Amino acid sequence: MKSRCACLVLLLMSVGCRKSGQKIDAAILHQQGGLTLQLVRYYEKVGVNYEGEVFRVHCSSPSTRSVPAQPMQPAGWVTIGNGPAIGSTSAEELARRERPRYVVFDEQTLAWWSNLALNVSFDGCMGSRKWSPVNLPQSLIDVRPKPAHCAEGADCRHYDFMGERAPQYESISVTGDTVSFIVRTPAIKSGSLRVTSTDRGATWGWFGVR
């Protein structure tokens, strides 16, 4: 009994001594050629609003070698995804969950989605273009009631895509300058759309799919 209490005290002391931004552990998401995606768990404390584990997805490629270090981002990497991680047991556990969101085509080209938008990069994560369903015409959206503060001019389009209505992306492909994917969500009246770009994400078009 005494040994259990001692272990518990040591555990609580170790948690209490953590510094915000401290790295906990890491796991590889993808690796192809010179491009590597790594999921890292950190401890973060943000005032009284949040204290606990978070994760960051970092990307390293020949294009990112000169990127300086930042809080919760090592030198030579850029952050392309993040989220809360309270309750997780390891970076590897989170990597198994997050891996399907990241599609690597070669060491310069990849696509990923987090939250609402799908992103695509043609230069090893140094830059990216994105498509988000919040930019679709309202005539295509099953609009839901919004909180009261939205009536004051706040941009609340994302509320239509929260919870079970979060967009899911599939059939992602990148060929030359052409990007194509299917987005599915109950928030879209037709249920799904095929989205395409022929200019590396500078402009987008879409049409219905079954």
- Global pTM reads 0.86
**Residues 80, 136 share a domain:** no
Instruction: State the pLDDT confidence band at 155, using cuts at 50, 70 and 90.
Output: very high
SS3 (DSSP) at 61: coil
**Residues 136, 190 share a domain:** yes
**Residues 205, 140 share a domain:** yes
**Residues 145, 92 share a domain:** no
**Residues 197, 151 share a domain:** yes
Q: Could you tell me the two tokens for 69?
A: 């270090």
The number of domains in the chain is 2
pLDDT of residue 4: 56
Q: What is the mean pLDDT of residues 56-71?
A: 97
Is 7 within the bounds of a domain? no
Is 112 within the bounds of a domain? no
Is 9 within the bounds of a domain? no
User: Rg of the Cα trace of the chain?
Assistant: 20
pLDDT of residue 168: 97
- Give 6-34 pLDDT, tens digit per residue: 444 444 444 456 787 899 999 999 999 99
Tell me the average pLDDT of the chain.
91
Distance CA 169, CA 113 (A): 8
Q: What is the mean pLDDT of residues 38-48?
A: 90
Position 208 pLDDT exceeds 70: yes
**Residues 205, 139 share a domain:** yes
- Give 121-152 pLDDT, tens digit per residue: 999 999 999 999 999 999 999 999 999 999 88
Containing structural domain, residue 25: 18-102
pLDDT of residue 7: 42
Is 12 within the bounds of a domain? no
pLDDT of residue 133: 97
Distance CA 122, CA 164 (A): 31
- Chain centroid, CA 147 distance in Å: 25
Core vs surface per residue 123-160: b (16+ CB within 10 A) or e: ebbbebbbbbbbebeeeebeeeeeeeeeeeeeeebebb
**Residues 203, 136 share a domain:** yes
> Looking at per-residue confidence, does 74 or 49 come out higher?
74
Residues 6+ apart with CB under 8 A from 171: 180, 181, 182
Position 104 pLDDT exceeds 90: yes
Is 197 within the bounds of a domain? yes
Q: Name the β-bridge partners of 79.
A: 58
Q: Please, are residues 191 and 209 in contact by the beta-carbon 8 Å criterion?
A: no
Q: What is the mean pLDDT of residues 48-59?
A: 91
pLDDT of residue 79: 97
Is 114 within the bounds of a domain? no
Q: What is the mean pLDDT of residues 197-210?
A: 93
pLDDT of residue 10: 42
**Residues 93, 137 share a domain:** no
Is 204 within the bounds of a domain? yes
H or E stretch at 97: helix 91-98
Any idea how long the chain is? 210
Is 107 within the bounds of a domain? no
pLDDT of residue 9: 41
Distance CA 17, CA 111 (A): 38
pLDDT of residue 17: 67
**Percent of the chain beyond pLDDT 70?**
91
